[in-house]
Amino acid sequence: MEFGEESSPARAFEKDAFELTVEDVYDISYVIGRDLLKISSTGEEVSDLQFRIVRVLEMFETLVNKYNLSLEELKMERDNLKSELDRIIKEGSSRPGAQTSGPNQLVVDLTDPNRPRFTMQELKEVLQERNQLKAQLMVAQEELQLYKSYCTSSVSIHLKTVRL
């Protein structure tokens, strides 16, 4: 089976690794097999080498096939997201009284129970107050611990003097 210059299996070696197709892997396999047959058809070492090369090419085929499938899945997901975005934009612009939003504007659905209810500044203030209260609680707990240890030591001293 002879190949023309344009469809030569050896052209697969010239491609970038990320541009390879499963057919290119088959072409590479064909060229390597043909070259191995030219070397020797009787040598046992060549036979072992052929099996190893076939195994590597099978793994290579799997990787190329997986990469191509992943690429196709990503393209389909991109197309789905684009169509979903177009649908949402169309719905938003078709509602009466709808305002178009710019790139630095936040659109909030007032019926969403999980919508933001505080500004970032308000949230920072609440967190600072919480941290201050935590610090005060820790100080109060330490004072209470000291008071408890003082009371228990005083009681034990008092009990010792009463027993004497």
- Tell me, yes or no, whether 84 and 13 share the same domain: yes
Task: Report whether pLDDT(109) > 70.
Answer: yes
30 within domain boundaries? yes
Task: Report whether pLDDT(84) > 80.
Answer: yes
109 within domain boundaries? no
Q: Which domain holds residue 138?
A: 122-164
Residue with the larger pLDDT of the pair 97 and 39: 39
Q: In the chain, how many domains are there?
A: 2
Long-range contact list for 83-86, CB < 8 A, 24+ apart? none
pLDDT at position 5: 44
pLDDT at position 128: 92
CA-to-CA distance for 7 and 2, rounded, in angstroms? 10
- The percent of residues in the chain predicted with pLDDT above 70, rounded, is 78
Q: What is the pLDDT of residues 121-153, one digit of tens each?
A: 888 888 899 999 999 999 888 888 888 877 777
pLDDT at position 143: 86
Q: What is the pLDDT of residues 35-81, one digit of tens each?
A: 777 776 666 666 777 777 887 888 888 887 777 777 778 888 888 88
Average pLDDT over residues 17-38: 81
46 within domain boundaries? yes
CA-to-CA distance for 82 and 160, rounded, in angstroms? 83
- Tell me, yes or no, whether 18 and 87 share the same domain: yes
User: Average model confidence (pLDDT) for the chain?
Assistant: 77
Average pLDDT over residues 23-36: 83
Task: Report whether pLDDT(3) > 60.
Answer: no
Write down which residue in 94, 113, 142 finishes a domain: 94
Sign of CA pseudo-dihedral 114, 117, 121, 124: negative
Q: How far is CA 36 from CA 12, 25, 157, in A?
A: 18, 16, 98
Write down which residue in 74, 94, 114 finishes a domain: 94
20 within domain boundaries? yes
114 within domain boundaries? no
- Tell me, yes or no, whether 134 and 90 share the same domain: no
For the full predicted model, state whether its pTM sits above 0.85.
no
Average pLDDT over residues 19-48: 77
88 within domain boundaries? yes
Sequence-ordered list of residues with C-beta below 8 angstroms from that of 118, at least 6 positions apart, any chain = 126
- Tell me, yes or no, whether 90 and 27 share the same domain: yes
- Tell me, yes or no, whether 84 and 130 share the same domain: no
pLDDT at position 1: 43
CA angle 152, 158, 164 (to 5 degrees): 140
Q: For residue 79, what is the domain's CATH number?
A: 1.20.58.1770
- Tell me, yes or no, whether 136 and 70 share the same domain: no
104 within domain boundaries? no
CA-to-CA distance for 4 and 122, rounded, in angstroms? 73
4 within domain boundaries? no
- Tell me, yes or no, whether 142 and 83 share the same domain: no
